[in-house]
Amino acid sequence: MSPPASIAISNLSKKFGSQEVLRNISFEVPRGQTYCIIGGSGQGKSVLLKHVMRLLAPDSGDVRIDGESIVGLSGKPLDDVRKKMGMVFQESALFDSMTCLENVSFGLTMHRRDLSAKEVERIARDKIRLVGLSRVEYKFPSEISGGMKKRVGIARAIALEPEILLYDEPTTGLDPILASSIDELIIKMKAELHVTSLVITHDMNSALRIADRILFLYQGKIHFSGTSQEVRETKDPVLGQFVRGETVGPIPVIAEVDSSTRS
């Protein structure tokens, strides 16, 4: 029997007020694969990601990590599952008052009490080097570029050696050259760390470059699922318009809730 998928979503639905944001979403991300979720603003991509992290609970359906349902988990069992995941936030979400080294060390300090301060620093330095940075350890986030912040964010996400990496718009705000370098880093993390990756992105060039499979979220449903080549060759009019950057019909309006749930 083959091992369970790293991430398995089954019939996931979520409403905010009367607005149905996710409607019976189902898909699986096999171990070691990179899946990209694409779609316009307000289509529920970040809401979906928050269910994978168990920051939101579904109205119905299930989320499984390595075969274990996380929908009803709380406390230590939920913490144990979350330790399998590393999160790379859209705006990097680095602590301004901490140096880059302290930012990367943060999760280790919080969750690996068995490590000495020297071991924590060694691991953090190794991860910083792994993402292609040098001489930034004692700089603060305000002293480095946007692309470097993204790399520090990835270094922090992999510090605990997670099995799953979750990326929220990793190339947003970067010029094409820097965005390409982040794509190459995501590919490198998959190859060297053998992680399963779920990437939320508006960036079609990035999705086509890094994804083993692309899921197009539209009006609360998975409208299309296919490889990068299948996306390039699609004759689906709605996906085709999105890929070409054209208007894709009326966009459903998300009910007035916390703005962080709208993407």
* pLDDT tens-digit map of 95-116: 999 999 999 999 898 888 889 9
Residue 160 lies in a domain: no
Percent of the chain, pLDDT > 70? 92
- pLDDT, averaged across the chain: 88
Here the CATH number for the domain that contains residue 220 is 3.40.50.300
Least confident interval from 39-43, 46-50, 119-123: 39-43
pLDDT of residue 2: 60
Residue 142 lies in a domain: no
pLDDT of residue 247: 55
Least confident interval from 152-156, 181-185, 210-214, 240-244: 240-244
**Is the confidence at residue 198, as pLDDT, over 60?**
yes
pTM: 0.87
Q: How many domains does the chain have?
A: 1
HEC-encoded secondary structure of the chain = CCCCCCEEEEEEEEEECCEEEEEEEEEEECCCCEEEEECCCCCCHHHHHHHHCCCCCCCEEEEEECCEECCCCCHHHHHHHHCCEEEECCCCCCCCCCCHHHHHHHHHHHHCCCCCHHHHHHHHHHHHHHCCCCCCCCCCHHHCCHHHHHHHHHHHHHCCCCCEEEEECCCCCCCHHHHHHHHHHHHHHHHHHCCEEEEECCCHHHHHHHCCEEEEEECCEEEEEECHHHHHCCCCHHHHHHHCCCCCCCCCCCCCCCHHHCC
For 56-97, the pLDDT digits (tens) are 999 999 999 999 999 989 999 998 899 899 999 877 789 999
Residue 94 lies in a domain: no
Domain that holds residue 24: 1-80+203-255
More confident: 112 or 26: 26
Residue 184 lies in a domain: no
**Is the confidence at residue 255, as pLDDT, over 80?**
no
pLDDT of residue 253: 45
Residue 225 lies in a domain: yes
**Is the confidence at residue 251, as pLDDT, over 60?**
no
Residue 188 lies in a domain: no
Residue 73 lies in a domain: yes
Residue 245 pLDDT grade (very low, low, confident, very high; cuts 50, 70, 90): confident
Residue 191 lies in a domain: no
